Amino acid sequence: MPWPPLADLDTKIGLRPWGAADDDPAALARGWADPEVIRWTSVPADASEEAARNWIRGEEIRRSRGLAMDLVIAELDEPRTIHGEIGLIMVEPEQRWAEMGYWLADGSRGAGRAGAAALLFADWVLRELPVNRLFARTNPDNPKAGAVAAAGGLTEAGALETGTVVWVRDRPG
């Protein structure tokens, strides 16, 4: 997976790789420790800054093997300020299906950043990567996560037996 040069001049949102700034591991560890991020996403058991540093080091390997990609959500005029993360993991390589996930840091929620990032990212993924279907899973008790998926152009496809809502967007054409 190539590094995407992703920027939206209208929303002023940019997506960049982890590790571009020295303080990225500390910001990632803070994200992993955020009660809302813990509540709605999967975070590592070891959420220390050292674990974050090691995870960032492994990003290039995951990306180069086509397994996953995780990017920082930032504003174009403040690329060092981390508002959150958006990424994907290949879950059905033969069918070219990838799952998109995202989180926002405390203090960055409610300003439309995640929705703008989701649209920018989903458009790029389905245009440039060997992905035929991008999907997201959200908890029905977290309607804001569903709103982010919808902002990314994904449509609600239904719910699993657990109640988890599934959102999908397919490659055009």
Q: What is the pLDDT of residue 96?
A: 94
* Domain-located, residue 116: yes
Q: How far is CA 97 from CA 41, 44, 62, 169, in A?
A: 20, 24, 16, 10
For the stretch 36-48, pLDDT in tens is 999 999 999 999 9
* Domain-located, residue 139: yes
Number of Cα atoms under 13 Å in the Cβ half of residue 4: 27
Q: Is 4's pLDDT higher than 90?
A: no
Q: Which residues pair with 74 in a beta bridge?
A: 14
* Domain-located, residue 56: yes
* Domain-located, residue 50: yes
* Domain-located, residue 135: yes
Owning domain of residue 82: 6-170
- The helix/strand/coil state of 56 is helix
* Domain-located, residue 1: no
Supply the CATH number for residue 44's domain: 3.40.630.30
What is the DSSP-derived secondary structure letter of residue 9? T
Looking at the structure of the chain, the number of domains it has is 1
* Domain-located, residue 102: yes
Please give the model's pTM, rounded to 2 decimal places: 0.92
* Domain-located, residue 86: yes
Q: Is 107's pLDDT higher than 90?
A: no
